[in-house]
Amino acid sequence: MLKRNQSAACRTGGSMAASMKFTKPFTQQEPIPAAAIERAVEIMQSGRLHRYNLAEGDSNEASRLEREYAEWQGVDYCVACTSGGYAIQLALRACGVMPGDKILANAYTLAPVPGAIHNVGGVAVLVDIDPTTTSTWLISRSRRWSLARASCCFRTCAATLPTWTGWPTSASASISA
């Protein structure tokens, strides 16, 4: 988990990165099985990764993945995306975000999150994080820019709640804070 000096860097205008200490390595948690690696190599060598330039009736791996995943989820459709940023962009479009709409986003995030908001014409409103988990706070009595306060102040229409190193925003923990 990420630990830092209780927002001292933010209060003093200093660099947040300078006050952070990583206590766990950023490595793959479990090794990728050899069979999965072999299958990935087969798919890459087949040239059938995308939907283009296929003969009539031919299928590709992306379409197969979407179909199988949709069946596994018990839904009619699934869309495979090339990145998490593009997935966020599609989700914002599906939610009906319009140009000029304000969207809440975690202030401690990577460029694809505000980039996705920008790509749909939205305006990113950055909100503070819980310094012990780096998750966005949904509700907090002690923090000025919690997600709940920001949504009221800025008349936002949506929020992105990205995970950071596998730690999703915990609604129940945030509400009980």
Mean pLDDT of 76-98: 90
Domain count, the chain: 2
pLDDT of 88 over the 70 cut:
yes
pTM comes to 0.61
Is there a contact between 138 and 159 (Cβ–Cβ < 8 Å)? no
Mean pLDDT of 137-148: 50
In a domain, 147, yes or no: yes
Is there a contact between 168 and 161 (Cβ–Cβ < 8 Å)? yes
Same domain, yes or no, for 101 and 172?
yes
**CB under 8 A, 24+ apart: contacts of 165-173:** 165/2, 165/26, 165/134, 167/1, 167/133, 167/134, 167/135, 168/135, 169/135, 169/136, 169/138, 170/133, 170/135, 171/138
CB-based contacts of 171: which residues, under 8 Å, 6+ apart? 138
Closest CA to 118 of 127, 126, 108, 128: 126
Closest CA to 119 of 104, 97, 136: 97
Same domain, yes or no, for 165 and 107?
yes
Q: Look at residue 93 in the predicted model and tell me its pLDDT.
A: 93
Of all residues in the chain, what percent carry a pLDDT higher than 90?
18
In a domain, 19, yes or no: no
Same domain, yes or no, for 100 and 66?
no
In a domain, 84, yes or no: no
Which has the higher per-residue pLDDT, 128 or 153?
128
pLDDT of 37 over the 80 cut:
yes
Tell me, what amino acid is at 149?
A: R
Kindly report the length of the chain: 177
In a domain, 23, yes or no: no
In a domain, 122, yes or no: yes
Which has the higher per-residue pLDDT, 71 or 138?
71
Q: Look at residue 162 in the predicted model and tell me its pLDDT.
A: 65
Q: Look at residue 10 in the predicted model and tell me its pLDDT.
A: 33
Show the domain range for 54. 36-73
pLDDT of 71 over the 80 cut:
yes
In a domain, 103, yes or no: yes
Which has the higher per-residue pLDDT, 167 or 126?
126
Tell me, what amino acid is at 42?
A: E
Radius of gyration (C-alpha) of the chain in whole angstroms: 20
In a domain, 115, yes or no: yes
Which has the higher per-residue pLDDT, 46 or 5?
46
